[in-house]
Structure 1
């Protein structure tokens, strides 16, 4: 497999913009493990093999269990996620597929039962950022194991 082109060489400013988004998320107070779950789930929905590979490895390095990583695409049927994680995973799916039904008020309220407005925005920014990374990786032909 080959990438279509090196987006960093073609547009260094694009990478810098994405890194600014990542920097915001890292300083927002959002739990790093929860952020990785967001990244993995959105990447699964978008079919971004490069990002799934990267973020499952990162989650393992943070101590996430294999079981929770393997069952993430079936989180509704798995008893291994907290109520907060479930709400955030549902929000991740809704925002990633926003054209289907938006973000229903009931979902917003379920998430807000666990987070304040600032953390809600950090979660939304994390979801938006990984969706942008997925679209960059897929559009430029990135694949797991590439250097």
Structure 2
């Protein structure tokens, strides 16, 4: 598949807005390595190869174990490889990413608030929303990588 358009040339303001969200994420309490796992999981669900590749490389550079990256697609079956907080974040990621399929369950919401507090849950929600926005942009224009 070939790239449909170069967003940076057509509407550079789109990236300015998205980078502001990215800047916000850099000052949250959510560890960067966990953000990368969330970004990878959402990118898998959204089938965004561009973002999946970028965030897998970043995660490896941060020292996230390769085994975790391989198993994140089946995180719900690989309990020994993810902490309770990571599992809560990944469950929340799954439900927010697929929000049209039934919303976010009380169980997923409670688990993420229990693991991160309300403020951390809000920050995590912004991380999930941000990667979902990036995924949609890149998939819609067929961004090459």
For normalisation by structure 1, the TM-score amounts to 0.95
Name the counterpart of 1:58.
Answer: 58
Deviations 1:87-136 (A, max 9, x none): 10000000000011111112111111111111111100000000000000
1:99-114 mapped onto 2 (5 Å cutoff) = 99-114=100-115
Aligned length: 144
Unaligned runs of at least 5 residues, structure 2: none
Kindly indicate whether the alpha-carbon contact (under 8 Å) linking 2:33 and 2:64 is maintained by their aligned counterparts in 1.
yes
- Cα distance in 1 between the residues matched to 2:144 and 2:86: 28
Q: Which has the higher helix share?
A: 2
Name the counterpart of 1:91.
Answer: 92
Name the counterpart of 1:27.
Answer: 27
Deviations 1:28-60 (A, max 9, x none): 121100000000000000000111100000000
Shift of 1:85: 0.3
For normalisation by structure 2, the TM-score amounts to 0.96
Deviant stretches of 4+, over 4 Å:
none
When the two chains are superposed, the root-mean-square deviation of aligned CA atoms in Å is: 0.9
1:1-147 mapped onto 2 (5 Å cutoff) = 1-78=1-78, 79-144=80-145
Shift of 1:2: 2.7
- Cα distance in 1 between the residues matched to 2:112 and 2:122: 11
Unaligned runs of at least 5 residues, structure 1: none
